[in-house]
Structure 1
Amino acid sequence: MDKITDQIHVYFLPMMAPGHMIPLVDMARQFARHGVKATIITTPLNASKFSKTIQRDRELGSDISIRTTEFPCKEVGLPEGCENLASTTSSEMTLKFVKALYLFQQPLQQFLEEDHPDCIIAGSFFPWTVDVAAKLGIPRLSFSGSGLLPLCAHYSLMEHKPQLKVESETEEFIIPGLPDTIKMSRQQISDHLKDEKETPMTEIVNDILRAEKISYGAIVNSFYELESNYVKHYREVVGRKAWHVGPVSLCNKDNEDKAQRGQESSFSEQQCLDWLNTKEPKSVIYICFGSMSIFSSAQLLEIAIALEASDQQFIWVVKQSTTNEEQDKWMPEGFEENLNGRGLIIKGWAPQVLILDHEAIGGFVTHCGWNSLLEGVAAGVPMVTWPLSAEQFFNEKLLVEILKIGVPVGAQAWSQRTDSRVPINRENIQRAVTKLMVGQEADEMRRRAAALGKSAKMAVEKGGSSDNSLVSLLEELRWGMSSSN
């Protein structure tokens, strides 16, 4: 490609939350490997989480850089250093955080005027970017961090409102017009969908929906073979342009990249690998509930007892907001000592992609966050599904009912708050783990998951469905550049 004359310059503005930043940074790196000049806009504290990776890509010849601007903590009444959604601890803080995202308009506009990029890819929580892009006459692509099935399901619920026609929270309804029969209950969807009542988020959600409608299109971390019916449905029924360019986690080829994805782990990657290397293929189950989920001590105790009773080998990532004194309350007497090398407990952040890609991993207990779902799919492992909030109940339907590589643990109710969740009991956890790891049904799920893992890897290779989708987007942007010059 002639760098000087037709190099495209794309701005990436990720929402400051691990589940949004990690894939959008990977996406920027992918664009840069296709000859694009990529600029990631974030705050200094967030930049420090991935600056080493970007530096390494630059040394390898990628035209990729980071521009930072301060996070307006004080202006919205957040404590100093609260620059990532993962640092918020209450719904009040979350709301302040989302409002702070609106204050990036001024600094971003300044950057845009200095750099004149050809396109901006922005997290959906920056709806105002659609107006800024229109003023500059450049396309704005939206990135929501989820797949196409959840986007289509959300669109249908907003359009047809079947959730308002049921008598109770637990009565099931069918989401109309989707390629598959998907049944949900009101208790499995987020508050803003439940009724017509205004919530603190209503205005923001409406703003996001307005921006999606007039955006140039959506860019999605997914691949055609995973949800082909929903790629078509989104384009033809929802009527919007979409490019699927995932799984973007597969741009991390070596162990160093995989280990540094996200943030520093509390456990060295070498320790993880050394432990996994002593295990038989497909014999270990990995348990992790994403970067935002904190479980109550009562729930952690149920998981611990279920794991002890299941006789399976495991790696369990435990995130807790409690102090060390409280920690012992949930851990059964002598739990860690009795494991005898059968289990590994990681407190804090874990190098998830590195672990999932190891041949010893035979299953994954997940909260069904879209990134975790895709990382599990790319690694070719079946999953125990334990949705908590966001779009995770939609994602569970994809894994369990459509792809048939998931076993539900029995979570019934959507909730962002730890204290309002009814714990899943040890019997249900043990039953799901055993069903995933042992027996003929487990073998069949593993076969399906392995085939899907192969498709995921092929999708991002040269000539694969996601690679072709990215190339066609770049051609469209380049055509737009030449016709506006």
Structure 2
Amino acid sequence: MSTGDGVASTRPAPHFVLVPMMAAGHTGPMLDMARVLASRGALVTLVTTPLNLPRLTRALADATTLPIRYLPLRFPCAEAGLPEGCESADAIPNHALLKNFHSACAMLRAPLVDHLTKKADDPPVRCIVSDTCHPWTGPAARDLGVPRLAFDCFCAFSSFCMRLMSSHAIFDGVDDDHQPVRVPGFPIHFELSRARSPGNFTGFGKEFADAVMAENARADGLVLNSFLELEPLFVGAYEAAIGKKVWTVGPLFLASSSKPSTTTASTEDTNAVLCARWLESKEPRSVVLVSFGSLVRSSLPQLVEIAHGLEATNRPFVWAVKPGNHAAFERWMAEDGFEARVGERGLVVRGWAPQTAILSHPATSVFVTHCGWNSVLECVAEGLPMVTWPHFAEQFMNEKLVVDVLRVGVAVGVKDAARWGVETEDAVAATRQDVESAVADVMDGGEEARARRDRAAELGRKARVAVVDGGSSCRSVELLVQHVQQKKFTA
């Protein structure tokens, strides 16, 4: 990210403490935020846990010359009723323990404040930037007498929408889970059913969401991994509604000095090398990428539908598969002969795939995505259209933004949200015909498809200007640092 001519050169750089949510989709953007702040001369302390520390240091291996350091705090698994080793949301064995995980995170408040208070030889902490899923950091910041900025891994569209849904309790008195309900106060007409909404309107989900909303309201501002040109209407409306600054600083991954590349992958990284070699053999803008992120685990019947749908497209494809039942999936693959039939036209990658590298490859043409915000941003930055297949959380809201507002995607037609962490053995949300039809609409849709691709390419250009070429996200970071420097330290 460009350093520009901001005030960082004339004032002492502040000390930021960053508290990421330890989950795959949340940690990455916060690490990129650490790079961005440190590249402007700020001292950055990253709060983590012993088991997560090696992952963070590996992820920031390219940033060893930047003023970034780590604060590993013991994670109280036993005290919170968690199995040992559950130091990230991805390690939780079942959904019922999510409450315990958040309770364990909240127990970090006292040791964090204690450590930061006693480090008298360090530059004093001037700001805490924490994931919105850590409402306990609001009281911690007040203990230290410093501002807290809430870091939201969602876009303004979805974050603002969820705030309105919660504050207006839009599903109160609605008995039908599939009845669309209008979101009041939203800049555009938008209806959502309970069945397609995030699971934060009952029980612990509501309690936790209310705590998050309350602390966001007390925060000094909101930081979003988005860029102004992508959703100016929603950023402006969000700021006006909450009466606080919304800092758009993304797409943050573009600010990293270590750009992912399939052609420079380590030979030890089998999947990356495999994908690189396979992609090099394909024509430009011919490949379909299918990937549903780190948390989605699909049922065997659903995987069968995806496989046959991809086969019917007659297009080259990379399919990153994370089955709910690995053994059953491998048995089906062996018995059906799918890989033998598609041959070199298809590449099935078990588990992790180098998503950003695949999206940035000239051979890739379209992304079939679960609409997690990180994945949407990665696709937007590469200027590619999408086939949208939301599963849970805010993903149906992201789909609305992609398909109806930005008009760079085609919906596969999923009706209801799945439940994260709960596998349904016979669940089929979209058929093979749905998959084939959506891919055809994006790749063979005539003038409409060309216009969609042109819009996607223009968004990709704007994303890079925002982050790399001194644009809106660069200026937003400059103003954020200036804002913190000018805040009075009250501890």
Per the normalisation by structure 1, the TM-score is: 0.92
Q: Match of 2:47, SS?
A: strand
The one-letter code of the counterpart of 1:34 is R
Q: Match of 2:410, SS?
A: strand
2:350 pairs with 347, 351, 356, which one? 347
User: How do 1:122-137 and structure 2 match up within 5 A?
Assistant: 122-137=130-145
The one-letter code of the counterpart of 2:302 is Q
The one-letter code of the counterpart of 1:377 is V
How far, CA to CA, are the matches of 2:178 and 2:481 in structure 1?
A: 45
Corresponding residue number in structure 2 for 1:235: 239
How far, CA to CA, are the matches of 1:288 and 1:297 in structure 2?
A: 16
The one-letter code of the counterpart of 1:48 is P
How far, CA to CA, are the matches of 2:54 and 2:101 in structure 1?
A: 19
The one-letter code of the counterpart of 1:41 is V
Deviates most, 400-409 or 103-112? 103-112
Q: 1:253 to 1:283 in 2, by over 3 A?
A: farther
**1:10 Cα offset (Å):** 0.5
Q: Deviation per CA, 1:56-96, whole angstroms, max 9, x where unpaired?
A: 212xx311122212222222222222221112232212222
Corresponding residue number in structure 2 for 1:21: 27
Q: 1:401 to 1:281 in 2, by over 3 A?
A: same
User: How do 1:67-86 and structure 2 match up within 5 A?
Assistant: 67-86=71-90
2:423 pairs with 418, 421, 432, which one? 418
Corresponding residue number in structure 2 for 1:446: 453
1:32 pairs with 32, 38, 42, which one? 38
1:179 pairs with 184, 187, 205, which one? 187
Q: 1:226 to 1:69 in 2, by over 3 A?
A: same
Q: Match of 2:365, SS?
A: strand
The one-letter code of the counterpart of 1:395 is N
Q: 1:264 to 1:164 in 2, by over 3 A?
A: farther
Highest RCO, 1 vs 2 (Cα 8 Å, sep ≥ 6): 2
Corresponding residue number in structure 2 for 1:277: 280
Q: Match of 2:204, SS?
A: coil
How far, CA to CA, are the matches of 1:144 and 1:2 in structure 2?
A: 24
8 Å contact 1:12–1:40 — kept in the other structure? yes
Corresponding residue number in structure 1 for 2:3: none
**1:29 Cα offset (Å):** 0.7
Counterpart check, 1:50 vs 2:56? yes
The one-letter code of the counterpart of 2:183 is I
Corresponding residue number in structure 2 for 1:458: 465
1:244 pairs with 248, 253, 268, which one? 248
User: How do 1:197-208 and structure 2 match up within 5 A?
Assistant: 198-208=202-212
How far, CA to CA, are the matches of 2:150 and 2:437 in structure 1?
A: 40
**1:325 Cα offset (Å):** 5.4
8 Å contact 1:260–1:351 — kept in the other structure? no
8 Å contact 1:304–1:332 — kept in the other structure? no
**1:8 Cα offset (Å):** 1.1
How far, CA to CA, are the matches of 2:449 and 2:414 in structure 1?
A: 20
Q: 1:467 to 1:402 in 2, by over 3 A?
A: same
Q: 1:40 to 1:265 in 2, by over 3 A?
A: farther
User: How do 1:327-366 and structure 2 match up within 5 A?
Assistant: 327-329=330-332, 333-366=336-369
**1:141 Cα offset (Å):** 0.6
**1:151 Cα offset (Å):** 1.4
Q: 1:325 to 1:230 in 2, by over 3 A?
A: closer
The one-letter code of the counterpart of 1:328 is R
Corresponding residue number in structure 1 for 2:218: 214
The one-letter code of the counterpart of 1:327 is E
2:307 pairs with 300, 304, 311, which one? 304
**1:275 Cα offset (Å):** 1.3
Q: Match of 1:171, SS?
A: coil
The one-letter code of the counterpart of 2:308 is I
How far, CA to CA, are the matches of 2:424 and 2:264 in structure 1?
A: 32
Corresponding residue number in structure 1 for 2:157: 149
2:480 pairs with 436, 450, 473, which one? 473
Deviates most, 114-123 or 373-382? 114-123
Corresponding residue number in structure 2 for 1:288: 291
Deviates most, 42-51 or 13-22? 42-51
How far, CA to CA, are the matches of 1:4 and 1:325 in structure 2?
A: 62
Q: 1:165 to 1:41 in 2, by over 3 A?
A: same
Task: State the Cα RMSD in Å.
Answer: 2.5
How far, CA to CA, are the matches of 2:380 and 2:387 in structure 1?
A: 12
Corresponding residue number in structure 1 for 2:16: 10
The one-letter code of the counterpart of 2:111 is P
How far, CA to CA, are the matches of 2:395 and 2:409 in structure 1?
A: 13
8 Å contact 2:299–2:325 — kept in the other structure? no
Q: Match of 1:368, SS?
A: coil
Corresponding residue number in structure 1 for 2:93: 89
How far, CA to CA, are the matches of 2:157 and 2:215 in structure 1?
A: 19
Q: Match of 2:66, SS?
A: coil
How far, CA to CA, are the matches of 1:135 and 1:177 in structure 2?
A: 34
Q: Match of 2:60, SS?
A: helix
Number of equivalent positions: 477
Percent identity among equivalent residues? 36
8 Å contact 1:282–1:359 — kept in the other structure? yes
The one-letter code of the counterpart of 2:246 is A
**Gaps in structure 1 of 5+ consecutive residues:** none
8 Å contact 2:18–2:45 — kept in the other structure? yes
The one-letter code of the counterpart of 2:344 is G
8 Å contact 2:249–2:473 — kept in the other structure? yes
How far, CA to CA, are the matches of 1:250 and 1:356 in structure 2?
A: 13
The one-letter code of the counterpart of 2:369 is T
Q: 1:319 to 1:181 in 2, by over 3 A?
A: same
**1:50 Cα offset (Å):** 3.0
Corresponding residue number in structure 1 for 2:319: 316
Per the normalisation by structure 2, the TM-score is: 0.91
8 Å contact 1:301–1:332 — kept in the other structure? no
Q: 1:97 to 1:370 in 2, by over 3 A?
A: same
Q: Match of 1:414, SS?
A: coil
**1:290 Cα offset (Å):** 0.8
8 Å contact 2:388–2:411 — kept in the other structure? yes
**Gaps in structure 2 of 5+ consecutive residues:** 1-6
1:386 pairs with 364, 371, 389, which one? 389
The one-letter code of the counterpart of 1:459 is A
